[in-house]
Amino acid sequence: MYRKSHTFSSACSAAGKAMYFSFFILHFSLFLLVSCKVERPKEVLPPAKMEEVLYDYHLAQVMGGDLTGENMYKRRLYIDYVYAKHHITEAQLDSSLVWYARNPKDLSAIYERMAARTERDMELIKQRQAKVSSRGPQPVEGDSADLWYDSRHFILTPTPLDNYRSVSIPYDNNFHPCDTIRWTFDVMFIGSQPTDRRLAVATLLIRYANDSVLGRDVVLRENAAVTITLQNADSVNVKNITAGVYFQGDSIHDHLVASHHRLMRFHTLAPKDTAEAVKADTLSVTSDRKRATPGQKAAKQKAAKKKSSKQKPAKQKPTKQKPDKEQPSKQPPRRDRVRMDAEE
């Protein structure tokens, strides 16, 4: 009995020692794990900064992937813009990606936050598109009409998806050949001092049913009141009219304010119609001139009488009469003439 109780107490004591040793080993391992965690070097971008850079970097890659042909060179410009915006170099981004690849938990957390941000931005874009489509272009009648249907005042920034704004007006029965399209608005630059990189480009395009395009670009570098005019000199039907402003800033603090937009359409007569209209106007003026009041008629008659009294009668030239031809006499012969004939 005593041996059994002694054995049980010895077992409990051994178990307690083993439990205490295990607890000690666990705490020591956690201490080593925390103390041995790799610290982020100073040259590696912090998580918040890395998230901003990667978001713009992938957005620039997507935008560059849609470019083809002559515009493919802009892919590199989009990437360089990301470096300039965040004031980093390509080497800094590469070294930071290498460190985060060795620490996948930190990189995974960054991409999870980026995915949530992308969903929020897409929702905002859908809301803006729905708002614009709800107040879309409506047919406007009249010889002169303002076709602008979007906000007449907006602000552009150098960031992608916010550096371009445009409106497009589709064709309707109110468009005529030889119409004049005139776009007027004001621009004001806000931010840093003017540089070669800071500019805005305003474009007005007329696209025809046969896919031919008539357009004009105006480069803006300072505050100005802008007027762009296009004359639709083609008899082909117009497919749509597009007016847009693109802004390129030198820093993220640059902004462009475009205000007081008016897109006017003026009906203009064709050359043949103009000639007929001028002829009709001339005839109407002539007919108006022939109409005179009774007083004007009396004055004209009086003036005509004075003029006729002053004029001398024209001298008539004597006319020479031609002698008549001798006609044979129808009188009976004389008696003495008959007697002489008898004596002979």
**Rounded mean pLDDT, 187-212:** 86
What is 136-272's CATH number? 2.60.120.680
> Where in the chain are the domains?
47-124, 136-272
- The string of pLDDT tens digits covering residues 317-327 is 555 555 555 55
Where is average pLDDT lowest: 81-85, 126-130, 214-218, 314-318?
314-318
Max distance between CA atoms of the chain, in angstroms, equals: 234
CA 209 remoteness from chain centre: 18
Where is average pLDDT lowest: 28-32, 42-46, 140-144, 301-305?
28-32
Distance CA 243, CA 166 (A): 5
* Confidence (pLDDT) at 8: 41
* Confidence (pLDDT) at 322: 54
Distance CA 30, CA 19 (A): 17
Distance CA 55, CA 113 (A): 10
239: confidence class by pLDDT, cuts 50, 70, 90: confident
> Is 288 a residue whose pLDDT tops 50?
no
> Is 116 a residue whose pLDDT tops 80?
yes
- The string of pLDDT tens digits covering residues 146-192 is 988 888 999 998 887 789 999 998 888 888 878 889 999 999 998 86
User: What residues contact residue 45 under an 8 Å CB cut-off, 6+ apart?
Assistant: 53, 88, 92, 93, 96
- The string of pLDDT tens digits covering residues 84-100 is 999 999 999 999 999 99
In the chain, % of residues over pLDDT 90: 31
Instruction: Determine if residue 38 is left, alpha or beta; phi over 0 gives left, psi from -120 to 50 gives alpha, anything else beta.
Output: beta
